[in-house]
Structure 1
Amino acid sequence: MLPAIVIGEALVDVITGPDGSRRSHPGGSPANVALGLGRLGHPVRLATRVGHDHFGSLLRKHLEAGRVELSPGSVVDAATSTATAVLDAAGAASYTFDITWALSAAVEKALRDGPPAHVHTGSIATALNPGADQVFSTLHALRASATLSYDPNLRPALLRSAERERERVERLVAISDVVKASEEDLAWLHPGESPDRTAARWARSGPALVVITLGANGARAWWRHGCQDIAPVPVRVRDTVGAGDAFMAGLAGRLLHAGLLGGGPGAEAATARTALRAATDTDRLPAVLGEALAVAARVAALTCGREGADPPTAAELVG
């Protein structure tokens, strides 16, 4: 089976609790998605940038334990990036970053030489140059042989104004097959416009499926002909770090399993892309997509019940 490839940042979350305590956890939105896919049993590689330092070693061991293979060239002679997450009394996180993002020449070559089944990207990797331009170019090169998913996972502290970011985000939305975004992403990107209106417009612009996560209220899926709510899974929240990434991993993993994402040499990507579009060419969400979204919600809920970005394994998901 050809692997999925996730392109994007791996970093260490330095988490400060409401009581001032500090602890370090491996993180980074794309790395969290890769970890989620690996723990759910999907072959996955991460094309990223980590250093040879202590934090880099922590990340590499964490990803390897989660069955994530690093793409060649991902380890560089530079400091590993960090994000400081400050938790409020409800466990919600706000972030500040110390990050450098770029793909090495070896990573770019490896991506083009070995076509994956599916490519996921998002967050800082698609926003911070020079790496963001490299990612967009790579996605264009891979789209003929792989399906694509994208999560903007916007970090306003690192971004320009929303007005200047919209074109970049919507350019990526238009070439993707599946898009996942949070209600907060859309509120920042399009102030004064309802997230539902934005999601509906995105679903007509290119992707077959657009999913907006709504925190404790679950999620809502949009496609060309309609929308459907996804009920939240009750959980005692420890914190919300990595919850959206876990949702993305659960959704992509289930769609890969169903043959609605995935590709490879020849016409396989076109076959999966056609199947996904056929599944959404209706005013009612097909059972296979409803089941994938329910799984994604459960994966996210299990992650919220644990400290840090710690997605469940396949055995924990069914347990």
Structure 2
Amino acid sequence: MSEQMVVVAGESLVDVVLDHDGDSTETPGGSPLNVAVGLARLDVPATLITQVGDDERAGVVVGHVTASGAEIVAAPTSSGRTSVATAHLDATGAARYEFELDWSLPRQELPICRALHVGSLGTLLEPGRESVRDLVEQACERELFVSFDANLRETFVDDRAEVWRQVRELGARCTLVKLSDEDAELLDPSQAPDDVARTLLEGERTDLVLLTRGPDGATAYCAGGEFSVAPRTTHVVDTVGAGDAFMAGTLAQLHDLGVLTPGTQELPADEASLTRLLAGAVEIAAITCERRGANPPRRSELPTGWPG
């Protein structure tokens, strides 16, 4: 495998999307997979470390990743089945998920890369989460840029206090942490989402926290202050993969700025740079919301001059 700009580690699965009229579609998904695909479509070299089964759905997943331009390193699942997430859409396009997951990623050496992204269920579910966290530690030892998207699912949050502890612990090892307002409410409903984000900014390696607010835009938190952008007006088909598209859009912009290459450029920390970063990521998410399923845009499909 060639050196990659970004390695993404985590679950891949098939999204079975059931709309409110009863129609169903199957598309490859999983937050880390969506981020890897989103990066590749934005011309950022990416490799996905994941698991798939020995079934027809595995071929669909692998084909989707490679067709988008990303590489994939896939260990077999213990069950032989590719994981499935069933998304039930309401009349507004918002999704409620049910999962059939197999996550037992083996420990392995982190490939040569310049940045690592992890997130969602792959960082939470045993036994595979330990392998993901080991990759994070390898990245920290190499002093690489590491990003983490909490991207929680209520189904897997049985003990809020323990999950919040785990998120803080992992987040502290990461340069950039992203979460949604829904994640924040799951982690600690006694705090406002802003305060949850501020707590995560206290992590030892954390320089930037991004909080997405769905129809209310997004906010960046850093040592230089807190800066927000409004959402872009869009016709929402569904919200599947929107947060992942935002994450990919963020990392792609940081790649363009040279931030992901160790020792070359610091993260943006001023209002103008961070609002531009947020607006660029919001644009990617908005385009994805205008499409069925997790289908982020290619760079050639973006407005001229993106990110503005």
Say whether the fold is shared (TM-score over 0.5). yes
Shift of 1:233: 1.1
Residues in 1 aligned to 2:76 and 2:248: alpha-carbon distance in whole angstroms = 23
What secondary structure does 1:171 align onto? Answer: helix
Write out aligned runs for 1:213-232 (5 A). 213-232=212-231
Which region of structure 1 is more displaced relative to structure 2, 135-144 or 62-71? 135-144
Amino acid paired to 2:180: S
Residue 219 of structure 2 contacts residue 278 of structure 2 at CA under 8 Å; is this kept in 1? no
Residues in 2 aligned to 1:202 and 1:86: alpha-carbon distance in whole angstroms = 31
Amino acid paired to 2:227: Q
C-alpha spacing 1:210/1:31, structure 2 compared with 1 (3 Å):
same
What secondary structure does 2:113 align onto? Answer: coil
Instruction: In structure 2, list runs of 5 or more residues that go unmatched.
Output: none
Shift of 1:76: 5.2
Shift of 1:205: 2.4
Identify the residue that residue 75 of structure 2 maps to in structure 1: 74
- Aligned to 2:184, which of 177, 183, 186? 186
Identify the residue that residue 249 of structure 1 maps to in structure 2: 248
Residues in 1 aligned to 2:251 and 2:180: alpha-carbon distance in whole angstroms = 16
Which region of structure 1 is more displaced relative to structure 2, 305-314 or 251-260? 251-260
Residues in 1 aligned to 2:282 and 2:197: alpha-carbon distance in whole angstroms = 18
Identify the residue that residue 155 of structure 2 maps to in structure 1: 157
- Aligned to 1:115, which of 87, 112, 116? 112
Identify the residue that residue 91 of structure 1 maps to in structure 2: 93
Amino acid paired to 1:69: E
TM-score by length of 2: 0.93
Amino acid paired to 1:251: T
Residues in 2 aligned to 1:16 and 1:125: alpha-carbon distance in whole angstroms = 24
Amino acid paired to 1:259: G
Residues in 1 aligned to 2:201 and 2:77: alpha-carbon distance in whole angstroms = 38
Residues in 2 aligned to 1:244 and 1:318: alpha-carbon distance in whole angstroms = 20
Residues in 1 aligned to 2:101 and 2:146: alpha-carbon distance in whole angstroms = 25
What secondary structure does 1:143 align onto? Answer: helix
What secondary structure does 2:189 align onto? Answer: coil
Shift of 1:202: 1.6
Tell me how large the CA RMSD over aligned residues is: 1.5
1:136 correspondence with 2:108 = no
Residue 127 of structure 1 contacts residue 159 of structure 1 at CA under 8 Å; is this kept in 2? no
For these two proteins, the number of residue pairs brought into alignment is 299
Instruction: In structure 1, list runs of 5 or more residues that go unmatched.
Output: 263-268
Residue 4 of structure 2 contacts residue 47 of structure 2 at CA under 8 Å; is this kept in 1? no
Shift of 1:131: 0.7
What secondary structure does 1:175 align onto? Answer: coil
Deviating above 6 A after TM superposition, structure 1's stretches of 4 or more consecutive aligned residues are none
C-alpha spacing 1:205/1:99, structure 2 compared with 1 (3 Å):
same
What secondary structure does 1:23 align onto? Answer: strand
Amino acid paired to 2:290: G
Post-superposition CA distance 1:194-222 (Å, at most 9, x none): 01111122223231111100001110111
Residue 204 of structure 1 contacts residue 223 of structure 1 at CA under 8 Å; is this kept in 2? no
- Aligned to 1:298, which of 283, 290, 308? 283
Write out aligned runs for 1:262-277 (5 A). 262=261, 269=262, 271-272=263-264, 275-276=266-267
What secondary structure does 1:48 align onto? Answer: strand
Shift of 1:164: 1.5
Amino acid paired to 1:142: A
Residue 77 of structure 2 contacts residue 103 of structure 2 at CA under 8 Å; is this kept in 1? no
1:40 correspondence with 2:42 = yes
Post-superposition CA distance 1:60-80 (Å, at most 9, x none): 111111011012x53557110
Over the matched positions of the two proteins, sequence identity in percent amounts to 38
Amino acid paired to 1:313: R
Shift of 1:261: 2.3
1:317 correspondence with 2:308 = no
Residues in 2 aligned to 1:104 and 1:51: alpha-carbon distance in whole angstroms = 14
Post-superposition CA distance 1:118-168 (Å, at most 9, x none): 100110000001111111122111223321000010012123211111111
Residue 200 of structure 1 contacts residue 224 of structure 1 at CA under 8 Å; is this kept in 2? no
